[in-house]
Each structure stands twice: as structure tokens, then as C-alpha cells.
Structure 1
């Protein structure tokens, strides 16, 4: 098997990771979905050894860290997000020795390692749950959320599962219902129970002792539930023409987004503080409270270091929407540090979601990658994003995601963003594996394979590498504050802001439209000069910026 080796001009010359305890501020975190990154043993499934072999490629991008989606022991009902042993590697991905080798190689290359921690729920095959369901009096009886039936035998309340149906599953041994916000095979851990909290935090400590640099926390706002099990009220407003799931018809006041979560996050942060330099980023789903929760969970430097929401993981593509959501976070949590993402393993890739707004998918990928990497905060980049991959088109018979299978064809599930990484357009299965992969390689991804793009200085991959280098050369783009600027007069689809750090100011202007536009910054400058950024050829005349369609401008500001 041929692997892409790192280039000689890689940052830090493969130096070990820095001692900066605040490395996460402004960090670019590259998400790796282990099943789909690289298969090293020919079974059609990616693994830890495959990831280790490809870390040189990741390092050449110029990112600061990797985030590994779950690789823990699991029955794989939800592809690793149903964990049966928090402190071991599933054999399909390798062993603890393989993980240790991955950590060592990543650190040698200057990459931090963050891992997914699924603390809100476990697998129904986890020994904790097996003991919990055995009786109502065993030592772990209250480690999961159990409740009696209503007099007519129905579930305790109206709570619904994200994956469909009631979030309560009847258990004939205990003769009670247990809570599962996702699959029935994913019972919710009762994080209102201090003993369950202690056990969960012990598993976090296990990986900290093993050398991880931080955690991405899955479904953070699902950690706690209402102890009184009150039913949710109806949603205040639902666009019935757009919602295909009853879940969205409720206002989820009592089954998630609970204030008790804050106390647990403080305990979690206190543990991380014992390991200087470790960091956390929490996932918060989409909803009316999402940005408020993002602000709350990252405030006062005693909970999460960072959080991200699904607010930029939907279909909305509008300069005013971007501006308002950024402004809302800055208003709610000016002292906190956000983490932004446009794609991940749970949503359709953003090139496909926003395809209709540009004439060229490659140029759209360059523009939106540049926008993401210019926001105040840290950034999560999903594998293949740097190639401009669109959502893979799969036949129904190729689907493996239970969510997608159940909702087909209205919703095609999450398999389309999880297909194998295309490394070599000429190799079997794009160089991912010599065997038939667990999901097929999309033929439309072959022209975008790494080997094709590395040879093309105009490719999306080349742009990402160059823009990340540009970002590192300007501290304001990494650590700086942000000032959103008013929209253009005339309604052009322009998003503009300044990034400011020490004595450096960088103007960032994005034309989200497919046609040329003009923008005049609303401030006086004595010197206003363009900064060279690949892929964007724009001009300045008399203080007015002329932008091509689907393009961006970056300028250096010097005050009078």
C-alpha cells in the first residue's frame, strides 16, 4: 500500500507539540472518522494503524490537532456511539498498543489528539447496564434512568427519541421503562447520580493518563434530564412542511438542555485542570436554545473550553444569517471561546448543502473553508472537507445507518458523509482498502482524490494548505477579536468583519453570491492594502473592494 508522505517544508519540522496550555484557542482540529480514513489490514474497515500511517498527510495540512470519532469497544449499533467498554479499543480498530502508537506519532508530528467521549449514554451491552437492569436493588440500579409505567401501561411521559418513537423502552426484568434519547440500544446514563458521575469521570481519567490532549463531548446538552420526568410541551412553532420527525414538534424543556448539566461540566473541567493543556469541545445540537447553551457551557473558564452547535450545519446560506448568528454568540458570551464547524459525520457535507448558491463546487469549497477559518474561535474540519468532497450518492441497498434506512427516501441518513476517504484515484477503492469497503467509494470522489489534488496548485487541497499557512502568518486570524461590519448598501450578499490582535488588523470580506459585488469598508484608513490569498483575485480602488462571485478579500489595515 502506498501512503502519502509529509512534505519537507512541514511546519515545525515535525517537532513535538508545544507547551502552550492554551493551544486550543484558535486551533484547527481535523476530525477523523476511523471507519473511513484508512484500512491497514484489508478487512474493508478503517482502523487506528491506518490513521497512524496517514498522519503525515494530516500534518502537512497545517492543522493543530486531530479528533477521533469513537473507536471504543462497541456492538456498533450506532457505529461506535454505543460504547460497551469506555477503556478499551474495539478489535475492529486495533488495540490499546495501536492507540499508544498513534498518540506517539501524532505528537512527533506536532499534532494534538482529541477523542470522542460519549458520556450521555452507553451500550445496552455495557456491564454497567447489564447489572443495572438485573434488579431494582443492585449497586448500579440507579446508574441509568428507570421509571415505572403509567397506570395504563404506557411510558412515563411523552419524551421522544431523536431516532424516532418513544424515548422509553420497556424492560421485562425490572418491569420498568428505561430512557434512551437515541437508539433503544443506547440507554441514558443517569448523570444526576453522583456514583455514575464518578464512574464516568474515571473513564475520562483513563485516557488522560494515556496521553490524550482533550475530548470532543458528544451530545453535551443531553447529559441530564428532569428528575420529576415532566412531559415536554408542544413546540412554539414548527414548519410542518419541513419537519418529517415528530421529535421536532416538542419544546425539549425536560429531556435535555437541563441546568443540572452545568454542575457536571464543572466536575469534568476540574478533572481536566489536573492535566494542564488538556481541552474540551462540546457538541450542542440545533434548536432555539443552542447558542445560549453554547455561551453558558463555555463561560467563566470553569466548564467547557469550547463548544459548537448545529447552527452552521444546516441548509441556511445567507450572509445576514451568518452575521446574526455570529453576533448573537458574541453578545451572549464575549469572553468565551467558540468552536465552529460546517460539516461533520452527522450531516450532509456542506458543499452539497450549499451547492445551489455557486456555479462551481470547488470554488464554493475554497470560499467556505476560508470563511470558517477566519471566524473568531477554533475550527473543526471534517475529513475530506479539504478536498471539497460533496455528499456521496448511495443506493438504498448500500445503506447501513439505521436512521437513514428508517427514514428513506425523505432522509437518506448519515452514510453519504461517511464514505471512505479517496487517496488514490487509480488504486482499488481509491486506496482506502484492498477489500470491498464497509461503504462504497463514490465514483464522483475519484477526481478529487488526494493524489490528483496534490499535483494541482489550483486544487481545493492546495488552497486549504495555503490558507492555513496564511492564517498562521497572521496572529489576528488565530487569537484576535472580531468586529462584524455592516452589510453593503444595495443588498449585496457580503459578510465582512475585522480580526484584531495586538497591533495587527485584518479585514475579511466574503462575497457569498455567484455574481461580482463591491464593498466599501465603513471606516477611514490611511493605508489599506490587499493581502495575497490563493484562489481569490480581487481589487481595491479608492477604498472600494471589487470582488468576483464566490470569492473573498483579505486586507491589512493601518490606522491614521
Structure 2
């Protein structure tokens, strides 16, 4: 296991900095707040922290609209704070991965402020500009993910600019060699400061079709959300021309050359395309593009063991030498216990979802609060901050419900998150009983089950690095083997509230392994018995 790069099989803990811990009583989490919780994060046994954007920004999209790639927004701290975060995290054996938003900037970035002035300034071609059609309408039918047309009129240039997201997030023109070179310099600024990796936001959106061809219509039966509501017109098109263009691969190879100058650094790409699994395989092929990728394929609304198996097997069939990263929750989708947990939402199911995520082949991104079993917060319209939710209310309530502050102390002011009178998003009353202090000393808590499993997983080469092969099982149960030269495990899971009895292709030679936090799974004769909401890990002969 020591010969493999650290990120293979790693558990990466995603921190949404606005909501982890507030150190200065302004109601917003910050970098010193992250530093103050490093002991807690270390106690989870994770390998790295992915810190969502903290760069200078007008915060129209809460940091994903960057106005200065090389500075920290004052609400989060300053560069000295960030350097301390790296130093203290490294001292505890924790790597730091930062979000990099390369496809677009804020409209308040100095580059765009210059570019929009006229058609002949030094930055004139740094963004995607296009003339209107003869009737004055936008150059094509491309749509914004956040609703409506993806083009915005700029009267000073008498042209439209492209924005795949908010109109305050203009897209950079990656067909311009100066832009590509500058973006690589921005990336290297952080590598020189000691970051261990980059999570690449919206990385499939860097290039656009230079012919500006219309996207074709998508039949209704093929419209899948993957983070978008069914009534969002964005789902009405095949996004062939504004996303996942072939030129992107050459840029990724240039980016990889920069990363290779910093041994041990990693790229984690967020993949969103018409066939995200195929794109994940393509973007990690050849050992000269991205190190690993993840997509929204397991962030679906409804849970199905059959779907999980089909998704993993489809990716495995095309992945070749690539390496996947899986997540079942993040800052863009409803919390997993509300999506998949049903009405009852038992603690045992939260433990099982985490164990499943940590047992698939690949690395893992685990979103803050999943170790507590947090549910989606139900907010009123006047409490919303997310422009996505405000636009699509009430059919879609946006992403604020998964971004509420962490509950640290059940009975403390603002649940121990902040000393401010109020917080940037309210702390749900139903989260308080799941606060860290409530779970910390309870050996049966979701939090301690998470810790136990992650620490046990560290010493299981089959789970961290092994191949995966599924066996047939009824809906509600999942059975697969993980095979490594030093270990072979049979993994069996029951996600239902009834005990299950399974006949397997080959039975284990001994009892279930101890130490991973699940008990009760056993062999009886030629059958495997799985209690409700249980998992069993059995050794197999190599």
C-alpha cells in the first residue's frame, strides 16, 4: 500500500467554510474556524480536507464567482490564515485540497472589467464574446444552468458574453492561449504555497464550440436532473456544444504537467456532461490528464441498490487505468439522509450509507455533516441565500438546505457554531440532537460508527485499493467482493428494515470481521444472514 499515491483510496472530507465554524462572531464560518476544528477532523481518520472556495468574491454564488484567484476574501480571513491552515493540517497528517473554479470568473474580476470595455483592449478576447444575430437576439440557443439564456448583452461592446452559470459569472475563453497560460499560473500560485491538490469545479465547461452551433433538443423521456429540477429548461437540451469539448483534453494534459512538478499533488475533477461516466473514464485515461474524477451519478434523488451496482459496473467497464472518486452528498444536492433515508431515517441507515460509500472501489468525498447523519434543512423563502433556489422557488428550493452551519453543541447559542446574534443561514432545530457533543461520547452514535469504520478501513488493502466485482442480490441488498494481492473480502449489505437471507456464489471460510462497527451478519449452513440495516465483511481465500 505504501507504493501507491496517497490519494488512491483516500477519504476526503469536504468543508464548506461558511458553515464549519465561525471564529470572529460575524455569523459566517472562516479559515481560523477550520483551524480550530482540525482536531475534530483528524479524529474522523480522514486523509484530506477539500475546502470549498474562499477566494475574494462578491459572493453572488458564494465563492464560485472569483474576483481574485490569489487572495482570500476578508470574510474568511487572509493568506496568513491559509498558510497556518496548511501548516497545522500537515502537522496532523491531513492533506489540503482547494477548490479551483477555472471555467469562469466573477464579472467583478479585473480581467472582465477590462474585457467588457471595448473590442480592442488587451483582455478583449479573454472571455467568450459573440455578435448578435441580425435580429439582435443571442447568437445561439445555449442555456444557463441557473435558468434562462446563457448570453448577456454588453452595450459597450455591442456583443453578448457567455455565462453557463449566473450572468455575473462570465465564461473565460480557453481558446485563447494567453488565458490558458494565465490560468496555469493561477493554479501554480497555490501549489507553491503547499496545497496538496485541486478540486476542479465545472471542469468540463472550459471550452465552447467556436462555431457556436445550437444544442439539439432532448426528448422528454431522456431529461434527467443530476442536480437540476425537471422543470429547468437546461434539461431540455443535449449540451454538446457548450460543454465537454474535445479541446479540453489538451488543456488537462497541460495542467497535469504543472501538477507533476509538485510530486504528490492531485487533481480531482467534477464531471458534468451528457455521459458523465464515459467522460470520467476519458478524463483520467493515460496517466497524463486528471488523477481522479467524480460526478453526480450517485447524487440521485432515489436510492436503489441495483442503480448503485449498474453505475459502478458501467464506470469500471470503461475506466481502464483511471481511478474513480465517489460521493453520495455535497454542497449542491439535498442531504443524503433526506434523499435516501425515507420517512423513518433510522441512525442505522445513516451508518450503512457511509459504510457503502467507503466500501466502493475508489477514493471518497465525504461532505461535512454526513458523519452526523444530518438531514436537509427546511427553509422558508425569506431565509434563502442561494440564487438557484430563489429563481426556481417553490418547485426547487435550492442548495441552502444542505449548507446550514454545523451543530457542535446541542444546547449552546447557535449550536456552538457562532457567537453572533444570527448566522448566515439558520441552524435547524432538528439538527441540535445530532450535534457533535451529543454524539461524541455515545459509542453507538453515527459519528462514532463513522470514525470506527474509517480507522478500520485504513488497514484493509482490499477496501482502499482492491478491485470490485458484484454478485447478484435482490433489490435492497448489495453483495460484492474486493480483491487485492494481500486480501480478498466479501462485502454484504442489507438496506432494508427486515432481515435478509442470501445464497452466495461462494461462501466465506470464517465469521464476519470485527472492528468495523457492524455486528450480526453471519453464515448459517450455506446461507448468509443479514440483520436489518447491517453490513458484513468476510475474508475469502486469495
With the length of structure 2 as denominator, give the TM-score of the two structures.
0.96
Counterpart among 507, 510, 513 of residue 531 in structure 1: 513
Check whether the contact 1:159–1:232 (CA below 8 A) recurs between aligned residues. yes
Comparing 444-453 and 493-502, the one that deviates more? 493-502
The verdict on how the C-alpha distance between 1:524 and 1:544 changes in structure 2, with shifts beyond 3 A counting, is: closer
Q: How far is the alpha carbon of 1:475 from its aligned partner?
A: 1.1
| Residue of structure 1 aligned with 2:359, choices 353, 358, 374 | 374
Q: Unaligned 5+ residue runs, structure 1?
A: 1-17
Could you tell me which residue of structure 2 aligns to residue 339 of structure 1?
325
Residues 1:29 and 2:16 are matched in the alignment? no
Q: Which residue of structure 2 lines up, in the alignment, with residue 396 of structure 1?
A: 381
The answer to whether the Cα contact below 8 Å between 2:461 and 2:486 also exists between their aligned partners in 1 is no
Answer yes or no: is 1:478 the counterpart of 2:464.
Answer: yes
Question: Does residue 1:274 correspond to 2:261, yes or no?
Answer: yes
Which position in structure 2 is the counterpart of 1:9?
none
- Deviation readout 1:36-89 (Å, 9 max, x if unpaired): 000001101000001001011000100000000000000000000000000000
- Aligned equivalent of 1:260: 247
Within 5 Å, give how 1:152-231 maps onto structure 2: 152-231=135-214
- Return the offset for 1:512: 2.4
Residue 108, structure 1, aligned to residue 91, structure 2: yes
Aligned-partner Cα distance in 1 for 2:526–2:27: 56
Cα RMSD (Å) of the superposition?
1.6
Write the mapping of 1:223-302 to structure 2, written as runs, cut at 5 A.
223-238=206-221, 243-285=230-272, 288-302=274-288
Residues 372-428 of structure 1: CA distance to partner in whole angstroms, max 9, x if unpaired?
000110000000010000001111111111110111111110000000000011210
2:309 equivalent to 1:306: no
Q: Aligned pair 1:93/2:80, yes or no?
A: no
SS at match of 1:530: coil
Q: Return the alpha-carbon distance in structure 1 between the equivalents of residues 221 and 234 of structure 2.
A: 11
Q: Superposed, which structure 2 residues align to 1:399-410 within 5 Å?
A: 399-410=384-395
Partners of 1:70 and 1:116 within 8 A in 2? yes
CA 1:240–1:267: 2 relative to 1, 3 Å: closer
C-alpha distance after superposition, 1:17-51 (max 9, x if no partner): x9977100000000000000000011010000010
Aligned equivalents of 1:171 and 1:19: distance in 2? 55
1:456 is aligned, of 426, 437, 442, to: 442
Distance between the aligned counterparts of 1:129 and 1:534, measured in 2?
A: 53
Given that 1:367 and 1:550 are in contact with CA atoms closer than 8 Å, whether structure 2 keeps it comes out as yes
Residue 445 (1) aligns with residue 431 (2): yes
2: CA distance, partners of 1:163 / 1:311: 20
- 8 Å CA contact retained: 1:72, 1:88: yes
Q: Does 1:117 align with 2:100?
A: yes
Matched, 1:355 2:341: yes
1:384 aligns with 2:366: no
Work out the CA distance in 2 between the residues paired with 1:46 and 1:284: 27
Q: Taking structure 1 as reference, are residues 535 and 222 closer, same or farther at Cα in structure 2, changes over 3 Å only?
A: same
| C-alpha distance in structure 2 between counterparts of 1:427 and 1:493, whole Å | 39
- CA–CA separation in structure 2 for the residues paired with 1:452 and 1:493: 31
Q: Residue in 2 aligned with 1:430?
A: 415
Q: Map residues 42-53 of structure 1 onto 2, 5 A cutoff.
A: 42-53=25-36
Alignment check: 8 A CA contact 1:40 1:50 kept: yes
**Partner of 2:510: helix, strand, or coil?**
strand
Contact 1:508-1:552 at 8 Å conserved across structures:
yes
1:349, distance to aligned residue in structure 2 (A): 0.5
How far does residue 240 in structure 1 lie from its aligned partner after superposition?
Answer: 7.3
Q: Deviations over 1:180-207 (max 9, x none)?
A: 0000000001112111011111010000
Cα offset, 1:538, TM superposition: 1.9
Which of 296, 306, 322 is equivalent to 1:320? Answer: 306
CA change 1:152–1:87 in 2 (3 A) is: same
Paired position in structure 2 for 1:413? 398
Alignment coverage as a number of residue pairs: 536
User: Displacement, 1:318?
Assistant: 1.0
Deviations 1:488-508 (CA, angstroms, capped at 9, x unpaired): 3xx352211111111310111
SS at match of 2:535: strand
Question: Is 1:70 aligned to residue 57 of structure 2?
Answer: no
1:353-374, Cα deviation, whole Å (9 max, x unpaired): 0122x74431111011000000
Deviates more, 1:439-448 or 1:533-542: 533-542
Partner Cα separation in structure 2 for residue 464 and residue 512 of structure 1: 17
Distance in 2 (alpha carbons) for counterparts of 1:94 and 1:190: 31
The 2-side partners of 1:517 and 1:305 are apart by 39
SS, match of residue 113 in structure 2: helix
Q: Is 1:144 matched with 2:131?
A: no
**Residues 104 and 418 of structure 1: CA distance in aligned 2, closer, same or farther (over 3 Å):** same
| Aligned-partner SS, 1:263 | helix
Partner-residue secondary structure (3-state), 1:379: strand
